[in-house]
Structure 1
C-alpha cells in the first residue's frame, strides 16, 4: 500500500476510573473519519501505549478496525522492549485486521543500530502486513540513524518511517536515503508537517488532529492542490493548540483540549494527572480563539 496523508495520533479515551471508554473511542473514530483524515494511528505516545496492557491494546485495535470498517486504513502500535513480545502482538493485530503496524524503537536500554536493524527486520519478517518505523529519541533514548533506515527501506514489508525527533535534518536524511524505494517519510512533529511535505515526505502522524482534524487535513490537501499559502496558513493555525502542550504531561493538555472541542476523551492514565485549573483556563481561552473553524 502507499502510505500518505494525515493520520491522527489517536488519544485513548478513558472514563473517570481510567478504564478505556469504548463508546468515546467509537465517537472519536467516526468524528475523525468524517473530518477527512486519510487514516488512523492508534497506540502511539499520545495514545498512552506504554500505560496499557496487552489486552487493552488488542481491544482498542478491535474497536478501531470494526468502527473504521474499511473507510480508512488503521495503523496500530506494536513495538516494545522485547522482540518476541512485539512479534506476538504484531501477529495478533494482523489477525484482528489492522492495515499497518507502527513499530517504535525499544526504550530504557538503548540498542545499537545493528540491534535496531534486526529488531525491525525480525518483526517485519513475522507478518504479512506493512510496517512503519517509529523514531522518537526524546522518549526512547535512542535515535534511528539514517544509515539504518537505508538498510531497512529495501525490506518488502517496511514501507515508511515516522520521525518525532523534532529535528528536521533527521527527516531530510530519511528522505535522502530512501530515494528510489517505495518508502514514505512521515512527520511526527506537528510543526513540521508542511516542511516535510515540501521536502518530499508523504504525510504526518499528527496528535493535533484529535482536536483540529479539519485544519490538519487542510495542510495536506492544500499542499496537494498546489495552494501553498492556504497550506501555510493552516500550518500556522495549529500553533496556539501546540503551545498548550507545555501545560502538563503528555497527553493531559491535549486530552483536555479535545474534550473542550467536543469529544469527551477523559483523563490520562495515572501517574499522569489531568491538567490543573490554571492550565484549564488557558486551554479554554485557546479553544475559544479557534471559534468555529473546526
Structure 2
C-alpha cells in the first residue's frame, strides 16, 4: 500500500500544506480492479427510473467487480439536474455492498460548481470522485488552467479525486505535463484515460510511478496493451462472463510474458457492449429493462 505523509506542495508559484487523505490514515485508496461505468435508466416520460436503477445495482453487485463508476459518460450525467446526479449516487450507495467502491462523476464546467458537486457526492456516499475536464472554453484550457482547477477541487474534496480525460466526448485532452504536476497532490490518486494512445498512457505511467499514481484504462478495445504498459484498473464498458471463473481483482501491471498471457486469458473472458452497458448481465437481458 502506498503511504504518503503530509508535505508542502508547490502549485502555481505558492506553497500549500497538503493534507493527508480522507480518513486520516494517510493511506492512498487502492483502485486496482474492474469498475463498469453504469447507465442511468429512464422511464417513458424521460424521468430517472430509480426502482430500475436499484434492481440493476442488485444484479451488478453479484458480479465480482471492485466497484462501480456512477455518473461517468455512460451515465449521461450531462442530461441530469444536480439533484438527480446526487440522488442517483445516494440510491446506488444504499444498495451497493459496503465492500464495493463507488466512484462518482462530479465534474462540472466551473470550478466552484465542481467543488460543490464533489462535496455532495461525498455526502451521498461516494468513496472517490472522478472529475472530467471542463471543455466549453477549450481554447483557454491550458496546463496552468487545468492545474488550478483540479488543485482547487482536490484541496476541498473530502474524498480522493480521479482525473478524467475523455477526448472523444470533450474534444480536449488533459496534457501530460498537467497530469504529472497533479500526481504530486496527495488527494489526487489517479487518472481515467479514455483514449487509445497507448504510448501516451505508458508515458504517464512512467512519469508518475514514484507518486503511486494509478492509471485506469478507459478503452475496452485496448485493454491488454494498456494493462501491459502499467495501468492499474479498468473503468470501461466491459462485462465479465461469470461462468468463466476468472479472477477480476487483477493486481498490478504484468511484469513477464507469463503475466501477459494471463491477462490475455482474462481479456478473453470479457465482451464489449455495442455502445451501451445494457447487455452486461447476461445475453438474455432486454435493453429496455436496463
Question: Which bin holds the TM-score, normalised by the shorter protein?
Answer: 0.7 to 0.9
Contact 1:13/1:264 (CA < 8 Å) preserved in 2? no
Partner of 1:126: 156
The alpha carbon displacement at 1:192 in A equals 2.2
**For residues 117 and 217 of structure 1, do their structure 2 counterparts lie closer, same or farther at Cα, with a shift above 3 Å needed?**
farther
Partner of 2:24: none
Partner of 1:40: 68
CA distance in 2, matches of 1:133, 1:264: 33
Matches within 5 A, 1:198-277: 198-209=228-239, 212=240, 214=242, 218=246, 220-221=248-249, 228-229=260-261, 231-236=263-268, 238=270, 241-242=272-273, 244-245=274-275, 251=276, 254-255=277-278, 257-258=279-280, 261-263=283-285, 266=288
The aligned length equals 256
Matches within 5 A, 1:150-229: 150-209=180-239, 212=240, 214=242, 218=246, 220-221=248-249, 228-229=260-261
Point out where structure 1 has 5 or more consecutive residues left out of the alignment. 246-250, 269-294
The alpha carbon displacement at 1:200 in A equals 1.6
**SS at structure 1 position matched to 2:172:** coil
Partner of 1:79: 107
Point out where structure 2 has 5 or more consecutive residues left out of the alignment. 1-28
Q: Name the structure with the higher helix share.
A: 1
Partner of 1:149: 179
Normalising by structure 2, what TM-score? 0.79
The alpha carbon displacement at 1:235 in A equals 2.1
**For residues 133 and 215 of structure 1, do their structure 2 counterparts lie closer, same or farther at Cα, with a shift above 3 Å needed?**
farther
Normalising by structure 1, what TM-score? 0.78
**Residue 37 of structure 2, aligned match among 2, 6, 9:** 9
**For residues 113 and 157 of structure 1, do their structure 2 counterparts lie closer, same or farther at Cα, with a shift above 3 Å needed?**
same
